Each structure stands twice: as structure tokens, then as C-alpha cells.
Structure 1
């Protein structure tokens, strides 16, 4: 009995040893597997890093960059572009100044603004996109040897009339010669109002001589009055004065009011605002229109941007003065005085040339 117990005990110990050996072997195998896994994972990670590094090198060689590098390159490009742009503007401005003068150069650089020089400074006025615009370009006009501009643009409906603007400053005029030189119409100064304390109405010294001569030569005639009214009552007085002067004559072209504000501190119009001018112009033009004539507003570019508001420019035909080979007035217009130094047979010295886009010789054009 004791012998069997001893044998059984010996077998149990052997079994336990075998199990321990198997367990330790399994643990060792697992540890080895884990180590092999780590080594493989590390090798795979190294391969991935090398692949990414190689990929980044390839990308950079092909022109692609990291975010930081890209930002650095953008900043550098912006700085370089700004420098190049500034240099380009300087060179352009230098060329424009050399050929056209400062004001013309500035106007070329800012085509979306109307720019005038006044009191030693340049003033910028944005062009109103809601206003009707003319479509003329510089290449639409060709200057003749005597200073006359001819329309050579593509619009066949544009058939401008050629006119001149006359006053006492032109002296004696041979209107027969003027007519033979191709002039279609004449705008005659009827008179003026004194711009200082003496605000009396004065007939132009040559008004009757000029209007009689022009009509006798078969030219169409319009008139203008050099206003310095400071209120609507004076504007109506000026209109009545003009109507009395033209009563004996056949006037088919417009009866214009001239608005050219003075910068002189002694001028009686020095304190007028845009609203004041609007009321003055409206009062004058209403009188002219009620009498059966076509009213018109004459002014230079400064007048049209500082004194004559857009509502008036839409209500009455525009006659503007600007010396040049293209109209530096962006909106629709009726007449353009483009030079004061033209040469015309029959007038001594410089003549004021006008282009008119409306044929007022047709009586229907003068109707309301």
C-alpha cells in the first residue's frame, strides 16, 4: 500500500513538471512572437518614413512645397510684385508726363474718375454708373490740319454738325467765307451780366452784327448768355433779356446759359452752391422752353463736376467745353467745344470749334 502511494506521488510530480515546461515554452514562444512583431513593425515604420521622405523629396523637386515654404514664397512674391508694379506705374507715369503733361497723365491712370485741377490741387469725382454714357473712343475722331475734328467711328448714325462759337472777341467775321469753309451753325453770344457789384445786363457788342451776318450767309444760329445770376429771379431776368434780343431773328439752334463759376473773391457768384446753380439753371431754361426754344447748359468740366448736378445734366441738353481730341465727359452730351484755337477761313485768329450731335436745322428738333 505504501509502495503504490509513493509511485503515485512520483507520477504527479512528473506531470506537474511537464505542464510547467509546456507553460514556460508557450510564454517564451509568445515573447519571441511579440519581439518578432515589434521588429517587423519597426522595419515597416522605417520603410514608410523612408517612402514618405522620398515622396516629399520628389514633390519638392517637382515644384510642390510645404505650407510654411509656400507661405514664405507667397510673401516673397507679393513683395516682388508690389515692387514691380510700383516701378511699372512710375515708368508709365513718366512716359505720360513726358508726352501729355501732369493732368492728362493722371487722367489716363484713373479712367473711372473725372479729374479736374482747381486751386492748385487735383480733385477726383467718381463717374456715376447710373447715368447714360456716350460710347465714343479716342480713335473715333481724326483732327484736320486746321484743328477741326471729324468723326470716323463705326456708328453710321452719328453725323455731327460743325459749328463755331463767336463773340466780340472774334472781331469782324466774314460769314460768307465761314459758310464756304464747311461750317453748319454758329452759336452767338447774346450778352452777359456783370460779375462784380455792377450786375447789369449787357448786350454783346457784336451780337447784332454776328447774328445778322450768320443768317445772311445761310448759317443756322443759336445763342448763349454768360450768366452770373445769384438767384432764380436774376436767372429769369437773363432769360427774358435774351428772348427780347433774339425776337427779330430766326433762331433754330439752342439758347444756352453759360455756367463758369469764378474763383475770384470779388465775384458775386463765389458763395453759390450746387443747389443754387441748379435752381438758377432751371429758372433760365424753363423760361426759354416756355417761349418755344430749346434750352441748353454750357460749362467746362469743372462746372459740370462741381456746380451742375446730375439731375440738371439729365434734364437739359449738355454743351461742354474741353480742349482735346476726345470728349473728357463720360455722359451723353449734345454739343462739345473741343478747341479755342481752330483756324477757319473768314475769322482772324483762333476760332472756337463745336461738334453738335443733333441736327437742329430740322424744326422738329426744337419742339418739346
Structure 2
């Protein structure tokens, strides 16, 4: 009764819900939603996805590591690639040591010389916020002589159970604080942080309300992304191909050039 009177006789609206797999999830108040129009997405015969809104085009890019071997970056750039996200390093999942990707310098230099926009990602296995900060400082030290303009990414991925990973059983709040610590340190170092996750992590693990001050990089392998909340980069396949690289490669879109203006607060 008192609540009804306080609201001027109006009942509060029911919560917004949506389905994910076999679950009904309640939308998080205040978290921006996915406003990319489905009609703007198209897929070419090679399986490459593009997105256009009002004449504005998303940028196309790939992400790579030493697994791709030596790369002909001039050929990559000539095959419709605008940007590259390059693995700089990783933390071991059993003992927790920090390591540089053996190709990171060659890949950064080659991509820049080919005229691409370049960012980096770090494969995190942090289990405390202190380790998240340590990883970020490791990245900053390695970037000291690199001139990149694209984001520096916190990429934490779960290890299949039974492999002795020190991250087994890490809870979502602790992981979120690891990401916050990494991103704050990267931002203080003068770079744009970004957080990578798949749908499971985005819906069920991370507290996105603590991370939404930074861009999100979504991994969802489909022709049109269905993730409910807003994201800025989209990794849409891990089985793509491109000139200059032997074997398969991840393809991505940078959707920031097509972003709609923010909706005014009511």
C-alpha cells in the first residue's frame, strides 16, 4: 500500500527478463543493452560478417598469437583487415608464471608497418586482484617501445577441469575484481582497457556493472550476435581464413564506428 501511494498509484513495472539456453535471466538495471540492428549484419560467401548502420561501417579485424606462426602482414592488410589484436603474453594456468608471446613484437611491428590499427591482449589466469595488477604491469612494461592505438585486453578463460589449473573454482566476484584491477592499471598507464568474455561469462560469471566503464569484447560464434547487453567488439568465428596466415584465425568486428547515441536518461 505505501509503495503504491509513493508511486502515485502506479504499480512498479515488472522486471525485464530474457532467456539464455534453459534459463530465464533478469535484465540488470542501468546496464546498456545491445542496440545493433539485426538487418545491418550480412555474411559474404567466405563467411565474413560485416555490419552497417546509416552508412557507417564496422571495422574488420583478426586476433592472433604464436599459434598462427609467421604472418605476412602486407597480405593480411590487402585482404580486408583493418585492425589486429595481438597476444602479448599469458600466465601459466598451473604454476602461475608470466610469459611473453614469442611472436608479439614481430606481429606488432608487422601489423603497424602494414597500416593496421593494433591492440594487444593478455591471456590472464589471475586468481587475485593483485595478480590482475601484476599482469597489467607486465603488459605495460612490454609495451614500452610499442606504438599501439587499439585496446589492451584482459582475456581470462576457464581451463577444462582435470588439468590442474590453479583457477579451478574461482568465483565470479573475485574474477571481476581481477579484471577491474587489470583495467585500472592499464588505464593509468595511458591505454584503453577492454574485457573479453563469452556469453556464459557475461551472463553468469562477471559482474558487468563493475566493468561497463570499459569496452567489452564479446565472443559469440554466429552470424548475428544475440547477447543481450551492449558490447563494442565482436569475435564471431574462430575458423576464419585470411591471406598471409596458414590455417584458421579468429575474425572480429569493431562496432564502435556504428554506435548509436546514448539514450537520454529518464
TM-score normalized by structure 1? Answer: 0.62
1:6-46 deviation digits (Å, cap 9, x = unpaired): xxxxxxxxxxxxxxxxxxxxxxxxxxxxxxxxxxxxxxxxx
SS at match of 1:314: coil
Q: 1:192 to 1:246 in 2, by over 3 A?
A: same
Instruction: Output aligned runs, 1:35-46, within 5 Å.
Output: none
* Residue 147 (str. 1) matches residue 52 (str. 2): no
Hey, what's the Cα distance between the residues in 2 that align with 1:129 and 1:234? 30
- Matched-pair contact (CA < 8 Å) for 1:114–1:126: no
Distance apart, 1:320 and its partner CA: 1.0
1:288-315 deviation digits (Å, cap 9, x = unpaired): 0001100000011111122211213422
Q: Which residue number in structure 2 is paired with residue 214 of structure 1?
A: 111
Match of 1:226 among 107, 111, 123: 123
SS at match of 1:239: helix
Q: 1:316 to 1:157 in 2, by over 3 A?
A: farther
1:103-155 deviation digits (Å, cap 9, x = unpaired): xxxxxxxx92223xxxxxx5553443642212234432111122211124xx3
SS at match of 2:212: helix
Higher helix share: 1
Stretches of structure 1 that go unaligned for 5 or more consecutive residues are 1-110, 116-121, 360-368
Distance apart, 1:158 and its partner CA: 4.0
Q: Which residue number in structure 2 is paired with residue 48 of structure 1?
A: none
Q: Which residue number in structure 2 is paired with residue 262 of structure 1?
A: 159
- Matched-pair contact (CA < 8 Å) for 2:31–2:209: no
Q: Which residue number in structure 2 is paired with residue 322 of structure 1?
A: 220
For these two proteins, the number of residue pairs brought into alignment is: 240
* Residue 131 (str. 1) matches residue 31 (str. 2): yes
Which moved further from structure 2: 289-298 or 210-219?
210-219
Q: 1:279 to 1:313 in 2, by over 3 A?
A: closer
SS at match of 1:112: strand
Tell me which of the two structures has the higher relative contact order, counting C-alpha pairs closer than 8 angstroms and 6 or more residues apart: 2
Match of 2:239 among 341, 354, 364: 341
* Residue 287 (str. 1) matches residue 190 (str. 2): no
Q: Which residue number in structure 2 is paired with residue 107 of structure 1?
A: none
Match of 1:311 among 209, 219, 240: 209
Instruction: Output aligned runs, 1:142-291, within 5 Å.
Output: 142-152=42-52, 155-156=53-54, 158-196=56-94, 198-265=95-162, 266-291=164-189
Give me the CA root mean square deviation. 1.7
Hey, what's the Cα distance between the residues in 2 that align with 1:124 and 1:112? 6
TM-score normalized by structure 2? Answer: 0.85
Match of 1:114 among 16, 20, 27: 20
Hey, what's the Cα distance between the residues in 1 that align with 2:38 and 2:256? 20
